[in-house]
Amino acid sequence: MKEKFIRLVSRAVPLPIENIDTDQIIPARFLKATTREGFGDNLFCDWRYDSDRQPIKNFVLNETKYSGKILIAGKNFGCGSSREHAAWAIYDYGFRVVVSSFFADIFKNNALNNGLLPIVVSDHFLKQLIEIISQNPETEIAIDLEKQTFTTGSLEEKFEINAYKKTCLINGYDDIDYLLSIRKEIKEFDLTHA
C-alpha cells in the first residue's frame, strides 16, 4: 500500500527548463544506495549546490520565496535514464505533483508507481502558469484527482490520466497486487512458453 492521493492544495515551484533529464534530477554518483529513502537531499544536486556544497542562490529550490508540493517544469521532463531514483528523489524532497507539457515515458511510469502525480498541461497553459507563479509565488493551486482538475485563481484546466492509474493512486494500490492476483494464469503461460 502506498500513500493515497486524492486532493492537494499547495504553492508551486517553477523550473521552466526543457529536456530536464534524470541525470539532472539525480546524478549517477548518488545512485549507490540500496534503499529508496534519502535521495531528496541530492535532488537537482548540480544545479542546487556549488562544488563546496553551498546552495547556489538563484536556483529555485534555494529561493525562499518559492515553496510547495508542486513542481512545474519545462517540456520533455524526465528524459534519459530509467532510474526510478529520480521519482524517489522528487517525492523524498516533498513534491507530490510534477506539471509539464510533456513527460518521458519511463519517468511517467516510475512517478505513477511511486504516488507522484505527473500532470500534462498544454504548452500555452504551462507558460501562463509559470508567469503567474513567478509574479506571485504565494499563488495556491488546487489539484483534484477525482475530478481531474487543476485550478488556480480563475484558471482551470482539466487534465488526462489513465483510469487504471487513477484508481491506483486514489486507493494507494500497486501494479504488483494485480499481477500477483493472476499468478496462476502466468504460471501456465510460462510453462507453454519455452
Partner 1 sequence: MSKPKTLFDKIWDAHIVKRAEGYPDALFIDRHFIHEVTSPQAFEGLRKRGIPVFNTQRVTATADHNVPTKDQHLPIKEALSRHQVETLRKNCKEFGVDLYDLGHPFQGIVHIIGPELGFTLPGMTIVCGDSHTSTHGAFGNIAFGIGTSEVEQVLATQCVLQYKPKTMKIEINGVLGKGVVSKDIILYIISKISASGATGFFVEYAGDTIRNLSMEARMTICNMSIEMGARGGLIAPDETTFSYIKGKKFAPQGAAFEKKVAEWKTLHTDNGAEYDRVLMFDAADITPMITYGTNPGMGMKITDRIPAVAELKEMSEQTSFKKSLEYMGLEAGSQLLNKNIDYVFIGSCTNARIEDLRLVASMVKGKKKAAHIEVWVIPGSKQVELQAKQEGLDKIFEQAGFELRSPGCSACLGMNEDKVPPGKYCISTSNRNFEGRQGPKSRTFLASPLSAAAAALTGKVTDVRTLLN
Query: Hey, what's the cell of 80?
Result: 534519459
Q: In terms of Cα–Cα distance, which of 51, 103, 49 is closest to 77?
A: 103
Helix axes 105-112, 163-171, angle to 10 degrees: 30
Q: Does 6 contact partner 1 by CB under 8 A?
A: no
Q: Does 155 bind partner 1 (CB under 8 A)?
A: no
The correct pick among 10, 23, 67, 171 for binding partner 1 (CB under 8 A) is 23
| Closer residue to partner 1 (CB): 84 or 157 | 84
Does position 1 interact with partner 1 (CB under 8 A)? The reply is no
Of the candidates 8, 10, 11, 36, which one interacts with partner 1 according to CB under 8 A?
A: 36
Specify the length of the chain in residues: 194
Q: Is 56 an interacting residue with respect to partner 1 (CB under 8 A)? A: no
Task: Say what angle helices 105-112 and 85-93 make with each other, to 10 degrees.
Answer: 50
Q: How far is CA 138 from CA 10, 33, 82, 108, 127, in A?
A: 9, 35, 34, 27, 17
Minimum CB distance to partner 1, residue 182 (Å): 5
Q: Write out the residues near partner 1 by the rule CB under 8 A.
A: 16-19, 21, 23-24, 27-29, 31-36, 46, 51, 74-76, 79-85, 87, 102, 104-106, 109-110, 113-114, 127, 162-164, 174-176, 178-180, 182-183, 185-186, 189-190, 193
